[in-house]
Structure 1
Amino acid sequence: MRIYKGDMFYADLTPVVGCEQGGIRPVLIIQNDIGNRYSPTVIVAAITSRTEKGHLPTHIRLCSQQYGLRQNSLVLLEQVRTIDRSRLHEYIGHLNDSQMQQVNEALAVSFGLDAPLQEPQMSLSL
């Protein structure tokens, strides 16, 4: 199965711990295409249909009609994980270039790639 950055699949994210997104749910492939071609794993972001969640700069809205999702949804780019390819099931669709640009910007926020590097603050207790 060929997988590309921007593809959406249903994936089984069980088991989970704490506040991780779980169950069989849509995910967005965010790994680069070289990794997608050669790696036995893929990096994904969870997608939720709970659009009433507080809108964060790491959330991207998806229209169900545009992408074949069951409901309008949010890509949660703060909920990123690496999974084995065998967890991927049914292909859903592929995000357009405009939405992928939003995804890239949200990933930069999520991983702190848009912030200047700072020296770590050391705390010395005596």
Structure 2
Amino acid sequence: MPRRGEIYYLDFSPAKGSEMRGAHPALIIQNDVGNRVSRLTIVAAITSNLKAARLPVCVQVSPADSGLPRESVVNLGHVYTVDKSRLRQLIGRLPAGLVEQIDKALRVSIGLEPFEL
């Protein structure tokens, strides 16, 4: 069962327009009760495009903290509900301090916390 804060590889295809496409890491952001009882989970896409880290809906993560092979960015502006069968290899789990940053970026993304550019 996936747990909140874990990172898995996920194939985002098929995709349209500016949606994430192909195999990329993704962060589980759904709560653990939902992960236990549902066949679906909610994820945020992870990219190696570090320019995205400047956005208030993004959080940069290091290989040491994430298990990823390079510096990466969790993009809470790219949130997807997916069937858990699409999850592939478990990569790692973010520490609690980073999950708090993820929570803040998620609140900004869905309009629960104000921000200015």
Aligned to 1:96: 95
Give structure 1 stretches of 5+ with no counterpart: 116-126
More displaced stretch, 37-46 vs 49-58:
49-58
Deviation at 1:37, TM superposition (A): 0.4
Aligned to 1:5: 4
Q: What is the rounded CA distance, in whole Å, between the counterparts of 1:54 and 1:93 in structure 2? A: 20
Q: What is the rounded CA distance, in whole Å, between the counterparts of 2:13 and 2:7 in structure 1? A: 18
Aligned to 1:34: 33
Aligned to 1:123: none
Deviation at 1:54, TM superposition (A): 6.0
After TM superposition, list the pairs within 5 Å mapping 1:1-126 onto structure 2.
2-53=1-52, 55-115=54-114
Give structure 2 stretches of 5+ with no counterpart: none
Name the larger-Rg structure: 1
Aligned pairs, how many? 114
Over the matched positions of the two proteins, sequence identity in percent amounts to: 42
TM-score normalised by L of structure 2: 0.93
Q: What is the rounded CA distance, in whole Å, between the counterparts of 1:60 and 1:53 in structure 2? A: 9
Runs of at least 4 residues of structure 1 off by over 3 A?
Answer: none
> RMSD between aligned alpha carbons?
1.1
